[in-house]
Amino acid sequence: MAARAKRTSHRPASARERIEHAAYELFSRHGIRAIGVNTLAERAGVAKMTLYKHYPSKDALALAFLRRREELWTRSWLQREVEHRARTPRAKLLAVFDAFDRWFQRADYEACSFAKALLEHDERGHPVRNAAVRHIETILAFITELAEAAGVRDADEFARQWLMLMMGCIVFAYAGDLRAAQRAKNAGAALLACEGKRGRAA
């Protein structure tokens, strides 16, 4: 299941923690552009001045959110799920879609925060856009590593194609196709089979 922001102790949350928790929940659900500072402050139970004391701008809070999202979604959830579900590199690649399938069935499925941030911030050089690109590249690096371990000849090209399947099925699931991950897994299996034929022909 895709990771949610959690408080890790029973002590009362600090203002900063409440702000970060509110930002995670709101930004991951609704995107960054749709949520204003007033809404963030209200959800966190703090004054706007308190929010600005900890984060001088909404962009600064958005950047913190994307870092947290990578920690929780990419590292603590996706990578661990893949390692848990499969043993061989090729099986791990396909296991991505098994993890996605479970994620897509959730009533609170929220799609990809990195893709949302990228689409919302079309200005080249915008710090939030740059951060979203870097986080997507982190996922690409993870897939490339699996592809290399699987003996794929051009691991970078293969990983880019695989990431297209991943991001595409995330969008299709968000549009209501609950079998999107299964369809992407079938396409991924065909891609791996094609790669295997290339290896035998070399």
* C-alpha triplet 184, 190, 192: angle, nearest 5°: 100
CATH of domain 62-201: 1.10.357.10
Q: What is the DSSP string of 97-166?
A: HHHHHHHHTSTT----HHHHHHHH--STT-HHHHHHHHHHHHHHHHHHHHHHHTT-TTHHHHHHHHHHHH
Helix (H, G, I), strand (E, B) or coil at 45: coil
Q: What is the pLDDT of residues 112-146, one digit of tens each?
A: 999 999 999 989 999 999 999 999 999 999 999 99
Residue 200 has pLDDT above 50, yes or no: no
Closest CA to 76 of 152, 134, 8: 8
Instruction: Give pLDDT tens digits for 88-114.
Output: 999 999 999 999 999 999 999 999 999
**How much is the pLDDT for 3?**
58
Domain ranges of the chain: 9-56, 62-201
pLDDT surpassing 50 at residue 1: no
Q: Is the pLDDT of residue 6 over 50?
A: yes
For residue 57, count CB atoms less than 10 angstroms from its CB and return exposed for 0-12, middle for 13-18, buried for 19 or more: exposed
CA atoms of 149 and 129, how far apart (whole Å): 31
Contact between 100 and 112 (Cβ < 8 Å): no
62-98 CB burial, b ≥16 within 10 A, e <16: bbbbbebbbebbbeebbbebbeeebeebbebbbbbbb
SS3 16: helix
Per-residue pLDDT, averaged over 64-76, amounts to 94
Superfamily in which the 9-56 domain is placed by CATH: Homeodomain-like (1.10.10.60)
* Model pLDDT, residue 202: 42
Provide the pLDDT for residue 12: 74
* pLDDT tens, residue by residue, 25-43: 999 999 999 999 999 999 9
pTM: 0.87
